């Protein structure tokens, strides 16, 4: 999943959770083993939502190289 975004005026109303649950449903329908996404280390609001939906954070680290 890439670029999950909820407009500021709609935040806190369950929209993000509904979007993730819908994406998970499509993922299951397509036979995938998991749904993955990432967020900025300082996006604590999103992390609270993500933590409430998963058993824990991934042990993988993500890196990017600007070229």
Rounded distance between C-alpha atoms, residue 17 and residue 31, angstroms: 21
DSSP 33: S
**How many beta carbons lie within 10 A of that of residue 6, not counting itself?**
17
pTM of the model: 0.81
Residues 9-65 pLDDT 10s: 999 999 999 999 999 999 999 999 989 888 888 999 999 999 999 887 777 878 888
Q: Which residue has the higher pLDDT, 14 or 2?
A: 14
Nearest CA-CA partner of 49 in 27, 33, 62, 6: 6
For 12, 38, 46, 66, the CA distances from 21, given in Å and listed in that order, are: 16, 16, 15, 32
Instruction: Look at residue 25 in the predicted model and tell me its pLDDT.
Output: 96
User: Which tokens hold the place of 13?
Assistant: 């109303």
Instruction: Look at residue 26 in the predicted model and tell me its pLDDT.
Output: 96
DSSP 47: H
């Amino acid at each position: 999943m890439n670029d999950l975004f909820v407009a500021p005026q709609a935040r806190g109303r369950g929209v993000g959770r509904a979007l993730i649950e819908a994406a998970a449903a499509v993922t299951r329908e397509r036979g995938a083993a998991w749904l993955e996404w990432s967020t900025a280390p300082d996006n604590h609001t999103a992390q609270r939502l993500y933590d409430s939906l998963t058993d824990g954070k991934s042990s993988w680290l993500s890196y990017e190289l600007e070229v």
